[in-house]
Chains A and B, each alone.
Chain A
Amino acid sequence: MILASSVGTLIEWYDFYIFGSLATVIANQFFPKANPTAALLSTLATFAAGFIVRPFGALVFGRLGDLIGRKYTFLLTLIIMGGSTFAIGLIPSYERIGVFAPIIILILRLLQGLALGGEYGGAATYVAEHAPADRRGYFTSWIQTTATLGLFLSLGIILITRHSLDTDRAKSIAEFNDWGWRIPFLLSIVLVGVSIYIRLKMKESPLFSKLKDEGKTSVNPLKESFAHKRNLKMVLLALFGATMGQGVVWYTGQFYAQSFIENVCKIDFEQSRTILIWAILFGTPFFVVFGNWSDKIGRKWIMLTGMLLAIITYRPLFNQLFSIADTDHKKEFITRKEINTKLIPIPNTENSLRTVTSTRHFEEGVRLVEVKTDTLYAEPGKVTLKPDIKTSKLLNDENYRWMIIIIFVMILYVTMVYGPIAAFLVELFPTKIRYTSMSLPYHIGNGVFGGLTPFIATLLTTIYTGDKLVGLYYPIIIAAVCLLIGVLYVSNKIDPNIND
């Protein structure tokens, strides 16, 4: 039962993440910057899917789940998510169908956000309602692993596909950017097909079935969840005392950390992704460890300790990441500098495409690679005005391992705040409105507060340019407010009976 529920949720996360992970490739195919309408749709796709549609999906599918049942609702979200993802892999590019391409992509991305908003609450509720009272944290922690494993799966499949299309690495990457990016999307239909088959064989939640048989299901879950003070106050407590802080810790540890090592530290594309992959691999079992532990000592203090550790250590940890890759304060071995020039003739012209790769070596095994691409014109005196320059850093094994350890520590915090939260949320609300009531605070906490972390953190670094770590103040302040509210108002008591 846990496996059957978790596989579907994992695939939904996979579907959602591949779009984010391939955002640059998709932008080149569907959202050309030269066309203002396409660029506008690109912005909408980025912001609307993550921040508006997810909470909206929580309301739509939460209501449905409390009216018709958990099983059919999270089956529906899976079909919507899988169908949208598969369809993205089939859409002709902007060059072929013009502005229809970005419009269709935007619609499909919105459907993905909507489905994701409905999935989690259903899966967590379903598993919790099957779990024995003293193992609820352990059972639901498997659902909690799916978001991280979904990211792991998406990164892995993208990297494998990127290297499998040609024996020549450069050609393989070029083919991936041209058409191979569609493979991870198309592959989704197989995964979703298997998952739908499994879910069809599952039975409805016993608690919901009992309520339905007794005719005690909610008539208007939205009204009962948010218009009645006695439940609304618990929804607000769940949001401000738990999911808000959990969301920022999660997104800082997994997403902002990756963005930071890639864009601020300038670590090479593949090294930055494999660092995250290893850290996730080592960190994921701890979701189950902390979920299980929460059955023994309660949910509250595990989650709040995760937040506290994040608040205290984020700046030193990120500072360490920056120092490892910082070449400004490291001695350069000037004699070891390497420069390679490659010329590729441009067909039907006398010009060539020139790629100059220079590698500079620094102490502590850091290499700074600069790839400059321009056109070498046959006509004397003519030069490329704005050559394309890409810079990245490569780490030696020791520093590479250090980065994995640092990111692992941050993912450990994620497992502390996220491992017990499904059980915590389930226990706050009555069965008849549980799906609706827990989905909204979860998706505002994660989709809005968490999802905005990379944007706000990056925005802060552009406003206050003197401090490269200034972006961390956003998750630190949000987590601190949440910690304070959690300490004051949240109970550590485990609800022994969620059957009511």
Chain B
Amino acid sequence: MNSIKRFAGILWIILGPLAIFYLIKTASEEIAKKPVIDTKIQWMVFVAIFIPIAIGFMIFGYYALKGEYDHLPESSEEIVG
């Protein structure tokens, strides 16, 4: 199970940049199609919010790849040390 978790981490790392690319591409196309302020704000908000989330997803994938989720903490001591 742990090897599947780690292997899937690669998938999450790849999905992050793919999501960012698709988001920026769609935003550019939609703004070009209808270049009014409403569309610009709407897509700027989408891009500004989803890029950090996609980066978080890559970090999640990295942690998974490194085996950080092989064992989940069973007490708070393991989290706060």
Contacts and interface: CB of A to CB of B under 8 A. Distances in A.
Interface of A: 36, 39-40, 43-44, 47-48, 51-52, 224, 228-234, 236-237, 239-240, 429-433, 444, 448, 452, 455, 481, 484-485, 488-489, 491, 493, 495, 497, 500
Interface of B: 1, 4-5, 8, 12, 15, 37-38, 41-42, 45-46, 48-50, 53, 56-57, 59-60, 63-64, 68-69, 72-81
B76 A489 contact: no
Contacts of A493: 74
A431 B76 contact: yes
9 contacts: A43-B37, A52-B45, A240-B57, A455-B42, A489-B5, A489-B69, A495-B74, A500-B75, A500-B76
Contacts of A452: 46
Interface centre among B50, B64, B78 (most CB of A within 10 A): B64
A500 B77 contact: yes
A236 B60 contact: yes
Contacts of A489: 5, 64, 69, 72
A448 B41 contact: no
Given A36-B37, A47-B45, A488-B8, A230 B78 contact: yes
B65 to A, nearest CB: 12
A228 B57 CA distance: 16
A230 B81 contact: yes
Nearest to B5: A488
B80 A47 contact: no
B80 A224 contact: yes
B34 to A, nearest CB: 10
Given A230-B78, A231-B79, A237-B69, A47 B42 contact: yes
Given A47-B45, A448-B49, A488-B8, A39 B80 contact: no
A230 B4 CA distance: 21
B5 A237 contact: no
Contact of B80 (A43, A432, A448, A485): A432
A485 B4 CA distance: 11
Contacts of A240: 12, 56-57, 60
Given A236-B60, A236-B63, A432-B80, A488 B45 contact: no
A229 B76 contact: no
B74 to A, nearest CB: 8
Contacts of B64: 489
B54 to A, nearest CB: 11
A228 to B, nearest CB: 8
Nearest to A455: B42
A48 B44 CA distance: 11
Given A51-B49, A489-B5, A234 B73 contact: yes
B56 A430 contact: no
A219 B34 CA distance: 48
Given A237-B60, A448-B50, A488-B8, 15 more contacts: A39-B37, A47-B45, A228-B80, A232-B59, A233-B68, A234-B73, A234-B79, A236-B56, A236-B59, A239-B56, A444-B53, A448-B53, A484-B8, A488-B1, A500-B77
Contacts of B49: 51-52, 448
A479 to B, nearest CB: 15
Contacts of A433: 80
A288 B79 CA distance: 30
Contacts of A236: 56-57, 59-60, 63
B69 to A, nearest CB: 5
Contacts of A47: 41-42, 45
